[in-house]
Every structure is written in C-alpha cells, then in structure tokens.
Amino acid sequence: DRLKLSFEKRIPFTKNLVATELLKIMSSKQTTLCVAADLTNSTDILNLAEQVGPHICALKTHIDIVDDFHENLLKPLKEIADRHNFILFEDRKFADIGKTVELQYSKGVYKISSWAKLVTAHSLCGKGVLDAIKGAEGLENRGVFLLAELSAAGNLIDEAYVKKTLKLAEEYPELIVGLVSQNPLTNNPGLLQLTPGVQIDTKSDNLGQQYNSPEIIVLEKGADIAVVGRGITQSNQPAVAALNYKNILWQAYLNRIKQ
Ligand code: BMP
C-alpha cells in the first residue's frame, strides 16, 4: 500500500529516474514540500529559490508569467537548485496535439525541456502529449506529473475522466512520475501524488482556488508531495514559512507510515 510505505521503500517501484531522484531528495532532506514560485520578477524568483531551497524537494514555476524573462535567469536558477538539491519543475500543463506540445516543450523563448526535469501535462488530449514529451530534444532524464484532478472550484473533471487518466498513466511508467490530484487515486507505490491547494488558515481565494491544511492533504487526501504557493510567497519570511510547512508535512507523513 503506497500510503503506508516510506519513500525509501518506494524507490524500487519507480521506473523513472527523476522519480527516483525525487524520492531520494525527499528522504535525505526530509521534505515533501514543493514551493510554487508564482512570482513575476526574475530576481524575486531567484531570491525565493535561495531562501526556501534548503526546505524543498522541488521548485514549481510558471515561467510564462515572468515579466522580465531572459534565458539568463536559468543558469543561476539551476545553480541554486544544484546547490540546495531540489528539482526544477515547470507547471506548463501541456494540452494540445502532440506536435504542438513537442514544440511548446522544446522550442520558443522558454525551451522548457532544456532545464525542467519535471513538467505537468493534462491527460485530456491523450497519448500524443506523452509521446511528444518522451521524444522531444532536451534533458535526458525527464518526468511528467499527469493531472488527474484539479483544486479549482467547479472544474469539469468527472469520475470517468479520472479513471481514464489513471489508465493512461499506467501505460507510460517510464515517463510518468506521478499524478496531480486532490484524493488518493492509486495504490501504486511507484507513482507519487502531488497535491496543490495547500495552505494553513486559509480556505480559498477569490478566483476558485480551494485549500486544505497540510495535515489533511497528507493524512486524509493521500498527498506525497504538497505544493504551497502563496502560503509561502506572501509571507514576510518565506524561509521561516517554508520550514514550518516542511516540518508539519513531514510529521504528518511520519504519522501516516507509522504501523
Ligand atoms: P497557491 O498555493 O498560491 O494557491 O498556488 C497553487 C499552485 O498550484 C499554482 O501554481 C497553480 O497553478 C498550481 N495548481 C493548483 O493550484 N491546483 C491544481 O489543481 C493544479 C495546479 O497545478
């Protein structure tokens, strides 16, 4: 059962090298925290990465919201990620025909495949998206988190869509690192559950985002990795806030795997 196994014991079940790396980082740094660096200024992103770096397993970006984006952002960002041992994760949510996804993933201003070991993809468009990511130029080791559920109020995903997403994930074990979901959908110890919509003391924003507490998402909703954005980025002391989320999440995980 995925929920009762330690991250270390789950490593042999993964068939993707980024998943293996992620599980090793989570175990050694004792963190399941992924910070969503949803900031629109390059310097702010670098400062945030430096501050929260020691406490995270991955930094999730929306690179297309950066006002002053220049490829010069990527070198220092990679350097910070290497030094603090976390993974760069572009939340691109690919959803188009395979050929277009191939171009969006590897070309254009952002050349995502050259720096992000992890990306997200919607299952909506089917296999072509995953074949495109698999075959495109870029980093040798790459992994995909497939979106199975959303934290957005009123989203159109239903039970059948979730089931079909799970089936698609199982067809690409060498590419799929895990699922983005709000509930425990699989017992496969080789798949990681990434859960956004996490904040302490806040239940929603004014645009449909829905939050659960760190304890609830780990103990009741099955999260392995928690995505926290504004709960940390809007804090006066992001490093302190990140450490606090990290500690609460890790304790909840220890309680979950306790026999
Ligand atoms: P925040 O914690 O500030 O609400 O940010 C959540 C982050 O997770 C955002 O970057 C958003 O794009 C992402 N996300 C989400 O909120 N819900 C989902 O279902 C999937 C997401 O990727």
Find, among 153, 149, 152, 195, the residue nearest to 169 by Cα: 149
Q: Summarize pLDDT for 210-229 with one digit per residue, the tens.
A: 999 999 999 999 999 999 99
**How many angstroms separate the Cα of 250 from the Cα of each of 24, 25, 245?**
14, 13, 8
Provide, rounded to the nearest whole percent, the portion of the chain with pLDDT above 70: 100
Q: Summarize pLDDT for 163-184 with one digit per residue, the tens.
A: 999 999 999 999 999 999 999 9
| Annotated binding-site positions for substrate | 38, 60, 151, 209, 229-230
Q: Summarize pLDDT for 40-59 with one digit per residue, the tens.
A: 999 999 999 999 999 999 99
pLDDT at 259 (0 to 100): 72
pLDDT at 114 (0 to 100): 98
pLDDT at 222 (0 to 100): 98
Residues in the chain, how many?
259
- Using the CB atoms, write b or e for 235-252: b if 16+ within 10 Å: eeebbebbbbbbebbbeb
pLDDT at 231 over 90: yes
pLDDT averaged over the chain?
98
Rounded Cα distance between 124 and 131, Å, is: 14
Q: Which residues contact 217 (CB under 8 A, 6 or more apart)?
A: 195, 197, 198, 223, 226
Q: Which residues contact 189 (CB under 8 A, 6 or more apart)?
A: 1, 2, 5, 9, 10, 13
The protein residue with its alpha carbon nearest to ligand 1, atom 10, reads 36
Q: Which residues contact 113 (CB under 8 A, 6 or more apart)?
A: 105, 106, 133, 136, 137, 138, 139, 142
> Ligand 1 centroid vs 241 CA: distance in angstroms?
17
pLDDT-derived band at 37 (thresholds 50, 70, 90) equals: very high
Rounded Cα distance between 239 and 106, Å, is: 32
> Ligand 1 centroid vs 97 CA: distance in angstroms?
24
| Residues 28-47, mean pLDDT to the nearest whole number | 98
Tokens of 174: 């060498």
Provide, rounded to the nearest whole percent, the portion of the chain with pLDDT above 90: 99
Q: Which residues participate in catalysis according to the annotation? A: 91, 93, 96
Q: Summarize pLDDT for 86-139 with one digit per residue, the tens.
A: 999 999 999 999 999 999 999 999 999 999 999 999 999 999 999 999 999 999
> Ligand 1 centroid vs 259 CA: distance in angstroms?
32
Residue with tokens 């090298």, as numbered in its chain: 17
pLDDT at 6 (0 to 100): 98
Ligand 1 pocket residues where CB is under 6 Å:
36, 38, 62, 91, 150-151, 180, 196-197, 209, 227-231
pTM exceeding the 0.80 threshold for the entire prediction: yes
Instruction: Please report the ipTM that was assigned to this predicted complex.
Output: 0.99
pLDDT at 214 (0 to 100): 98
| Residues 9-14, mean pLDDT to the nearest whole number | 98
